[in-house]
Structure 1
Amino acid sequence: MNKIYDLIVVGAGPAGIMASISAAKSSKKVLLIEKMPQIALKLKATGGGKCNLTNTLSADVFCEKFGKSGRFIKDALDSFTRDDLVSFFASIGVPTVARDGFRIFPINHSSTIILEALQNELERLCVEVKTDINIEKIEKKDDIFEVFEKDRVFKSKNLVLATGGLGYSTLGATGDGYIFSKFFGHKITQTSPAMMPLFTKEKNFASCKADTIAKAILKVNIPKYKNLKMEGDLIFTQKGLRGPVILDFAREITPILEKYSEVPLLISFLKGKNEEEIFQHLKNEISKNPTNNILQNLETLLASSVSKEILNICEVDENLRFKQIDGIKREKLIKTLTWTPFTVIGHDGFKHAMITRGGVSLKEIEQKTMQSRIVKGLYFCGEVVDIDGPCGGYNLQWSFSSGFLAGKLLD
């Protein structure tokens, strides 16, 4: 007769690893299954290999950053707080630091150290880990979950689905968790790629790749979505836009892009200055340096490369002085400096998406336990559910906290 575990965890990312550790600390017999040759490959790639684990925000503000999903995550965060996460990593030999006062990293900024420490902890707790496992199906018979793989069947009293989403397919993301969840009667909300660069119709700013726009303000120029706005650092690319603000805003843009072929944006490079403020600034500069040309005037506001491209958009000769510019073009220049238009036309899809927006419906999950409302003994955690947050350690904290809560199980 096959061995029956107390818990089988499917998916060895941060959520699945923490669920395994949480259960094992309660003396549960745990099997952790991973389809890739190694555990936590996506975790290893997080933050360019530096691994931003969490951040220093209060729990209430942290939850607010998740929008309407914020209330759901509170129980998981209460069960395993930021301080608990920091203490946990310290206890397994990974001290952390928040050098900028916000983002918390391992002190040596290495995800490899994180991975090694987690592997050692799994081994210490006698969690059985199996990699290179291609699950064909999962069923439940007589209160026992059966996980089928080729000619083997793994059995357990409880099951945690921690398979992640669809992002980074090269690191094992295939959406298997959605298939298993649907089999057990769960609804999957619309899934969209998130946290990635965006392609724009406008390519004229490609020459500005070396210049970062600090605290740019972005908003969607569609009446229905007029309230969608975000602020942060922006970087130009050959194909469009990236940077922290773009990675965060992408989670709002990609679902809209599925409805429309294009998504118009308005971007303030000048921290939200209005037309009057910009015009007054230029007047002051002209009075101080009356012989300067318009490019020199704009360079007091923006990097030279960005200033040149804005002048090109407005068809203004950079050698002219402000008063020499045609009135209509001068008005257009002020408007464009205030809000520069861009048009999002695409992205790289799930291939380069760091996270997935959408997943297992929260309405069918008990937030105090992460247990299914449909199938007893079935639990969810991490990215497989319909929760995603912005850059800055939000998604990893959620994965660890929800994994910890799911691993506690409802005996």
Structure 2
Amino acid sequence: MRGKLLGMDESFEVVVIGAGAAGLMAATRAAERGRRTLLLEKNTKPGVKILMSGGTRCNLTHSTDARGIVAGFGAGGPFLHSALAALGPDELVWMFEAEGVATKVEETGKVFPASDRALDVLLALRRMLDRSGAELRLATPVLEIAREGDGYRVFTDDGGIHAERLIITVGGQSYPGCGTIGEGYAWAKTFGHKIIPPRPALVPLTSNERWVQELSGVTVPDVLVEVVADDSPPPSKGGARGGIPNRPTPQEKADKKNQKPLTQPLPSGERVRMSRRASFLFTHFGLSGPAPMDVSRAITERPQAGLWKAICDFVPNVKENEILDRLAAEAAHSGKKGVLNIIAELAPRRLAEALMTRARVPHDRRAAELSRNERLALVEGLKRTAIPISGTLGFKKAEVTAGGVSLDEVDSRTMESKLAPNLFFAGEILDLDGRIGGFNFQAAFSTGFLAGEKA
């Protein structure tokens, strides 16, 4: 079979594998530069994940500058400097608007097509690709990749294709129903690349707490979520190894330096792993929405760390003493106002009811009847409710993949491999994952553009 494929003599200057956001942009840019370009896609249509993203609306980017995008990727952000210099958020918006896709900025900073149709984004990308002269082949899965002289031979069911330069943009492992099953990692390994273990990111969290599940459908627009774990090392019969105390690793030291403290000290052994303030959704399985999903990567990175829990401040704009003052003022004014109505002015009514139940405050309690301990318990519920986390929904529901091709082995100025000449990577296959809100699409478009510019 392989001998038969080697007999094929089809050749392109640039071959791009994977017609997602990064691949469509890479192939378009390479062809615009006059390169004879082929874009291969195993699905029967391109941009499947684009069509699914943002609730089928496609969150193109975030309303910020290049520095804001970099900050949204944490430690990996600086890798994007050159890519964003080539195609930043403003340039990306202008590019789509020039193709007739008007955009809008929502209150959260997310940039969407004004039509709220992801299809409009994909159609614009298709028009740009067609105009560039690049060839698109659908339903053409890649079986194998091998070095061939200074270039590469790509094997498909239809034969072998020589590529002077090869760009791999097949994504990670999130939403495997779109075809992103991680085959790109094996190809990268073939050429010596290190793969940072892939794990789900921007994924909903699961909780076995019945009261949480009973609140399914309740949305809280502004919540500070901080995930912590009992990170204490398990006790051993002989104590610390060799009598030497356990010391934090360099990564743990960096984590600690970047941690945001909680509103009060945590019990011994607990440490904040990540925090995020944004919208929050209770579901039948646990927690979703931007805030829980943004902190999910801390849990998937260290699932063995212990008993994870999300500590939720449901009223981050209201200080504890302000809540106590409001309860006291209502009690002093007439005392007849129901406590439930007071709490429901701060949080959704169903959540207010749940917090009162957890605080052991009867729902018919009047403000004047509240004891000091009950007032403190209500404040604790509003400001520091701890929800045990059992896990996540995994890759099937993850918006992006954390991990992937190590950034240390890719030239950020060109997206070219430092180990294999004329091999480029772009998009989610790289060890890059950013905040929810268009950051990851911007990275895909920008790294794809730069790879197409340099290939």
Q: Which residue of 1 aligns with 2:381?
A: 336
5 Å-filtered alignment, 1:3-42, equals 3-42=10-49
Alpha-carbon deviations, 1:5-38, whole Å to 9, x = none? 1111011001001000110011001110111111
What is the CA distance between 1:318 and its match in structure 2? Answer: 1.7
Match of 1:376 among 412, 421, 428: 421
Kept in 1: contact 2:401–2:428 (CA 8 A): yes
5 Å-filtered alignment, 1:239-254, equals 239-254=285-300
Question: In the superposition, relative to structure 1, how do residues 409 and 202 fare at CA in structure 2: closer, same or farther (>3 Å)?
Answer: same
Answering whether residue 224 of structure 2 is matched by residue 217 of structure 1, we say: yes
Structure 1 length-normalised TM:
0.94
What is the CA distance between 1:316 and its match in structure 2? Answer: 2.2
Kept in 1: contact 2:336–2:367 (CA 8 A): no
Q: Which residue of 2 aligns with 1:119?
A: 126
User: Structure 1 segments of 4 or more deviating over 6 A?
Assistant: none
Match of 2:135 among 116, 128, 148: 128
Work out the number of aligned pairs and report it: 409
Q: Which residue of 2 aligns with 1:390?
A: 435
What is the CA distance between 1:300 and its match in structure 2? Answer: 3.0
What is the CA distance between 1:274 and its match in structure 2? Answer: 4.5
Answering whether residue 65 of structure 2 is matched by residue 58 of structure 1, we say: yes
What is the CA distance between 1:301 and its match in structure 2? Answer: 2.2
Kept in 2: contact 1:278–1:338 (CA 8 A): no
What is the CA distance between 1:351 and its match in structure 2? Answer: 0.8
Q: How much is the aligned-residue C-alpha RMSD, in angstroms?
A: 2.0
Answering whether residue 77 of structure 2 is matched by residue 70 of structure 1, we say: yes
Answering whether residue 130 of structure 2 is matched by residue 84 of structure 1, we say: no
- In structure 1, how many angstroms separate the alpha carbons of the residues matched to 2:349 and 2:99? 49
Q: Which residue of 2 aligns with 1:316?
A: 361
- In structure 1, how many angstroms separate the alpha carbons of the residues matched to 2:151 and 2:345? 69
Question: In the superposition, relative to structure 1, how do residues 369 and 277 fare at CA in structure 2: closer, same or farther (>3 Å)?
Answer: same
What one-letter code is carried by the residue in structure 2 that aligns with 1:263?
A: W
- Greater mean alpha carbon deviation, residues 362-371 or residues 285-294: 285-294
Kept in 1: contact 2:307–2:388 (CA 8 A): yes
Q: Which residue of 1 aligns with 2:247?
A: none
Q: Which residue of 2 aligns with 1:2?
A: 9
Match of 1:229 among 239, 261, 275: 275
Question: In the superposition, relative to structure 1, how do residues 91 and 271 fare at CA in structure 2: closer, same or farther (>3 Å)?
Answer: same
Match of 2:147 among 140, 151, 156: 140
Alpha-carbon deviations, 1:123-180, whole Å to 9, x = none? 2222111111222211102112011123511111111010101011111111011111
Match of 1:361 among 377, 401, 406: 406
Alpha-carbon deviations, 1:223-273, whole Å to 9, x = none? 5642521101111111211112122222233223x2246311210111164
- In structure 1, how many angstroms separate the alpha carbons of the residues matched to 2:178 and 2:412? 28
- In structure 2, how many angstroms separate the alpha carbons of the residues matched to 1:132 and 1:149? 10
- In structure 1, how many angstroms separate the alpha carbons of the residues matched to 2:272 and 2:318? 18
What is the CA distance between 1:323 and its match in structure 2? Answer: 5.4
Kept in 2: contact 1:218–1:267 (CA 8 A): yes
What one-letter code is carried by the residue in structure 1 that aligns with 2:170?
A: T
Secondary structure in structure 2 of the residue aligned to 1:57: coil
What one-letter code is carried by the residue in structure 2 that aligns with 1:88?
A: M
Kept in 2: contact 1:9–1:19 (CA 8 A): yes
Secondary structure in structure 2 of the residue aligned to 1:318: coil
Secondary structure in structure 2 of the residue aligned to 1:391: coil
Answering whether residue 198 of structure 2 is matched by residue 198 of structure 1, we say: no
What is the CA distance between 1:364 and its match in structure 2? Answer: 0.3
Answering whether residue 342 of structure 2 is matched by residue 290 of structure 1, we say: no
Secondary structure in structure 2 of the residue aligned to 1:97: strand
Secondary structure in structure 1 of the residue aligned to 2:390: strand
- Greater mean alpha carbon deviation, residues 401-410 or residues 314-323: 314-323
- In structure 2, how many angstroms separate the alpha carbons of the residues matched to 1:185 and 1:359? 13
- In structure 1, how many angstroms separate the alpha carbons of the residues matched to 2:163 and 2:156? 14
- Greater mean alpha carbon deviation, residues 263-272 or residues 372-381: 263-272
What is the CA distance between 1:346 and its match in structure 2? Answer: 1.9
Kept in 2: contact 1:89–1:95 (CA 8 A): yes
- In structure 2, how many angstroms separate the alpha carbons of the residues matched to 1:105 and 1:262? 37
Kept in 1: contact 2:60–2:441 (CA 8 A): yes
What one-letter code is carried by the residue in structure 1 that aligns with 2:64?
A: L
- In structure 2, how many angstroms separate the alpha carbons of the residues matched to 1:107 and 1:294? 43
Structure 1 unmatched runs, 5+: none
What one-letter code is carried by the residue in structure 2 that aligns with 1:308?
A: E
Q: Which residue of 2 aligns with 1:269?
A: 314
Secondary structure in structure 2 of the residue aligned to 1:301: coil
- In structure 1, how many angstroms separate the alpha carbons of the residues matched to 2:401 and 2:334? 51
